[in-house]
Copies of this chain bind each other. A is one copy, B any other.
């Protein structure tokens, strides 16, 4: 006999710490589910608290308030089964948990068993692992009973783990797997998730419901892309990318379950995926920190152009200000390119030349300490004067300053603290120089003409901090090396074995190590790769390690 199960996939955007707001959003979704007569509503991991709540979890008030909201929410639930992520405090133990709710009561708490503690994740810091994985038997409004294999995010990612949650549940017998996730985006991660999920489906021949968080939180972007597979491993549902979505999906049970046309993953090119992730990251960072307006420096170069394009897409052109700050070292074309970009994007454009300020500083030093700045000190001074000007815009307008550095130059320390590193959000700090160019082309294609001026894309990159300066790197060579070092964590031997020139490899590794102190003071960047700078990469500043020196 075939039966249908109506599941509401609540791919929604929670805000960290906003218990009341998240609660209210959950209630409105539950009401919609009631109205639509769904059987089960599934929310993402820790939906009630937002993810990751980090050290808020160490605040006892926070845990108690979380509990009160879950209990309050439970009272609003009818015969529909609601499964929602929240913290569960049981005696002295704290769990990353899911509350299973029906008829006004929490009928079961599910505890996350595998606690990710790598890269950006710190769950051992906060939680105790669950070890009580049991299928939950529920009665639907139809009278039918179902055994649910409910588990949380990492519990699916059990490769190399002795403890395999889905298998424990599957072996005990479930009718349906349900996973509540807050799985942050990185490029192409949806395919990894799909593969893991299908492996379980293929093993146990049961449908699988995977509900992922959507939205930005500090450095992280959650992409949604919730998934439902039927018991034969066909996609019944592939959720939207980077968007909130309430989807009601019918899952057919029984031997001859008919599935309507199978869904397919949309084939996004890399640059579109990265672009949309960054747009969501910027939009949510502004919205959730209470900002509407952005300001950034426009140098006429590719990095500031792409940052501006992302900002406009995220915030609207009326909320973005671009400031050109030419010095005597700036070429005419730089200023023209900046101005043309601003015009094309339709953003407010200001020009604040800095020659008189450089001169004022130099005179000041000359008068007070009988010296003038030269070399790096002079170059950095220019960058810092620009940082001051931009922060003055930020302070006077209440706007948030965006930094424009890309991952390649940040890795090598080719940036100035309190200069071009000043700002509240490092929009493209997880994009290598090559990806920056790819997004520029994508953006122009999207808009149908060269919004980002062709000259900006084709000219040689330069910081323009002295005459005839161009960036001292061939980005085509070093951008992939930096990605291999940071993202794929290859060591010098592997890099050289890959065919990269030995001297460049050693130089890169040393530059990356020696610029750690700069990155520890950078604003949060938006993570779009497997390994970004920031919370997921914890290198010491005092670090004397160099593999090259170790000859045995």
Q: A53-B540, A550-B20 are in contact. Are A365 and B352 (CB under 8 A)?
A: yes
Minimum CB–CB distance from A115 to chain B (whole Å) comes to: 8
Whether the Cβ atoms of A392 and B363 lie closer than 8 Å is: no
Is A124 interfacial (CB-CB < 8 Å)? yes
Q: Quick one: which of A288, A424, A520 has the most chain B CB within 10 A?
A: A520
Question: Of A170-178, A234-242, A296-304, A381-389, which stretch is located at the interface?
Answer: A381-389
Is A15 interfacial (CB-CB < 8 Å)? yes
**A500-552 with Cβ < 8 A to chain B:** 517, 520-524, 535, 537-547, 549-550, 552
Question: Of A60-68, A201-209, A442-450, which stretch is located at the interface?
Answer: A60-68
Whether the Cβ atoms of B388 and A288 lie closer than 8 Å is: no
Q: A118-B125, A422-B417 are in contact. Are A288 and B523 (CB under 8 A)?
A: no
Whether the Cβ atoms of A15 and B418 lie closer than 8 Å is: no
Whether the Cβ atoms of B545 and A17 lie closer than 8 Å is: yes
In the assembled complex, the Cα of A122 lies from the Cα of B387 at a distance in Å of 34
Minimum CB–CB distance from A354 to chain B (whole Å) comes to: 8
Whether the Cβ atoms of A54 and B122 lie closer than 8 Å is: no
In the assembled complex, the Cα of A552 lies from the Cα of B61 at a distance in Å of 13
Q: CB within 8 A of A357: which of B72, B361, B392?
A: B361
Is A58 interfacial (CB-CB < 8 Å)? yes
In the assembled complex, the Cα of A546 lies from the Cα of B122 at a distance in Å of 23
Whether the Cβ atoms of B391 and A388 lie closer than 8 Å is: no
Whether the Cβ atoms of A540 and B16 lie closer than 8 Å is: yes
Is A1 interfacial (CB-CB < 8 Å)? no
In the assembled complex, the Cα of A350 lies from the Cα of B388 at a distance in Å of 23
Is A218 interfacial (CB-CB < 8 Å)? yes
Minimum CB–CB distance from A26 to chain B (whole Å) comes to: 15
Question: Of A106-114, A131-139, A369-377, A429-437, which stretch is located at the interface?
Answer: A369-377
Minimum CB–CB distance from A223 to chain B (whole Å) comes to: 17
- Render A278-304 as a binary contact track against B, CB cut-off 8 A, 1 for contact: 000000110011000000000000000
Q: Quick one: which of A21, A58, A60, A417 has the most chain B CB within 10 A?
A: A417
Q: Which residues of B contact A550 (CB under 8 A)?
A: 19-20, 61, 65, 68-69
Q: Quick one: which of A59, A368, A373, A522 has the most chain B CB within 10 A?
A: A368
Is A493 interfacial (CB-CB < 8 Å)? yes
- Render A6-20 as a binary contact track against B, CB cut-off 8 A, 1 for contact: 000000000111111
Whether the Cβ atoms of A16 and B381 lie closer than 8 Å is: no
Is A90 interfacial (CB-CB < 8 Å)? no
Is A356 interfacial (CB-CB < 8 Å)? yes
Minimum CB–CB distance from A540 to chain B (whole Å) comes to: 5
Q: Which residues of B contact A477 (CB under 8 A)?
A: none
**A247-276 with Cβ < 8 A to chain B:** none
Is A396 interfacial (CB-CB < 8 Å)? yes
Is A476 interfacial (CB-CB < 8 Å)? no
Is A28 interfacial (CB-CB < 8 Å)? no
Q: Which residues of B contact A122 (CB under 8 A)?
A: 117, 122, 125, 538
In the assembled complex, the Cα of A522 lies from the Cα of B541 at a distance in Å of 14
In the assembled complex, the Cα of A388 lies from the Cα of B19 at a distance in Å of 42
Is A360 interfacial (CB-CB < 8 Å)? yes
In this complex, what residue of B is CB-closest to A124? B124
Is A52 interfacial (CB-CB < 8 Å)? yes
Q: A352-B369, A517-B424 are in contact. Are A217 and B542 (CB under 8 A)?
A: yes
In the assembled complex, the Cα of A407 lies from the Cα of B17 at a distance in Å of 24
Q: A53-B540, A361-B392 are in contact. Are A489 and B59 (CB under 8 A)?
A: yes
**A454-494 with Cβ < 8 A to chain B:** 489, 491-493
Q: Which residues of B contact A524 (CB under 8 A)?
A: 520, 541
Whether the Cβ atoms of B542 and A15 lie closer than 8 Å is: yes
Is A199 interfacial (CB-CB < 8 Å)? no
Q: A15-B544, A364-B357 are in contact. Are A491 and B384 (CB under 8 A)?
A: no
In the assembled complex, the Cα of A179 lies from the Cα of B118 at a distance in Å of 28
Additional 8 contacts, C-beta under 8 A, given A17-B542, A289-B542: A18-B544, A20-B549, A50-B544, A72-B552, A357-B364, A360-B360, A388-B418, A418-B422
Report the 9 A-B pairs with minimum CB-CB distance, sorted nearest first. Answer: A17-B545, A360-B360, A18-B544, A377-B395, A124-B124, A61-B547, A418-B418, A61-B491, A17-B544
